[in-house]
């Protein structure tokens, strides 16, 4: 398989099923942002994590790859390319969030991202996830997109936020509260 084909040199790419669209098409932006998120999740996974967390992050990457593939298909052909996503995937994220959250101090303020590189990468992944969610919601306003995909992305951003907080606790890093200027 050749890496370059030159077929995209004029600003178009092919969706699964063969239709060519501009690379600026909302569908391309949505699955491209899912791909970007997947790369950041890989970076978070590569950082020091316990094995159980690494396993969940790998599972998340697999689900994101599947979601990206399903978004690369026009709505009229989407039945042929269903994402490999089930309700339990959302539940798994919720369980992981609840388990980490039970060990964290109560949040009384918004938290400024940062404190350590590992924490910052979690926050970057979270913000990319939110952008992916917004793009998928926008795509879903005009085309068929699974509600489960939107819920999964929403819960994933929550997971990444709590993972950043849990990482801060494990590293002994201070969480800096944001306080508005008076």
- pLDDT tens by residue, 11-24: 776 777 778 775 77
Taking only the tens place, the pLDDT of each residue in 85-131 is 999 999 999 999 999 999 999 988 999 999 999 999 999 999 999 99
- Rg, Å, the chain Cα set: 18
Tokens of 47: 């950082």
Distance CA 162, CA 164 (A): 5
Residue 7: the pLDDT is 64
pLDDT in tens, 22-69: 577 889 899 999 999 999 999 999 997 789 999 999 999 999 999 999
Full-prediction pTM beyond 0.75? Answer: yes
Domains and CATH numbers, the chain: 17-72+89-173 (1.20.1200.10)
| Angle CA 85–91–93, to nearest 5 | 90
């Amino acid at each position: 398989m050749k890496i370059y084909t030159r077929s995209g040199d004029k600003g178009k790419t092919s969706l699964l099923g063969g239709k060519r669209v501009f690379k600026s098409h909302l569908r391309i932006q949505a699955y491209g942002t899912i791909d970007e998120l997947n790369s950041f999740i890989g970076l978070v996974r590569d950082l020091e994590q316990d094995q159980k967390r690494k396993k969940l992050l790998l599972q998340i990457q697999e689900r994101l790859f599947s979601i990206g593939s399903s978004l690369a298909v026009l709505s009229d052909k989407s039945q042929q390319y269903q994402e490999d996503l089930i309700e339990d995937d959302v539940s798994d994220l919720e369980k992981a969030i609840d388990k980490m959250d039970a060990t964290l101090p109560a949040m009384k303020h918004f938290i400024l991202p940062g404190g350590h590189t590992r924490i910052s990468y979690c926050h970057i992944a979270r913000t990319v996830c939110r952008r992916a969610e917004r793009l998928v919601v926008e795509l879903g306003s005009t085309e068929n997109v699974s509600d489960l995909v939107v819920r999964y992305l929403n819960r994933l951003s929550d997971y990444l936020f709590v993972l950043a907080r849990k990482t801060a606790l494990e590293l002994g890093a201070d969480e800096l509260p944001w306080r508005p200027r008076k």
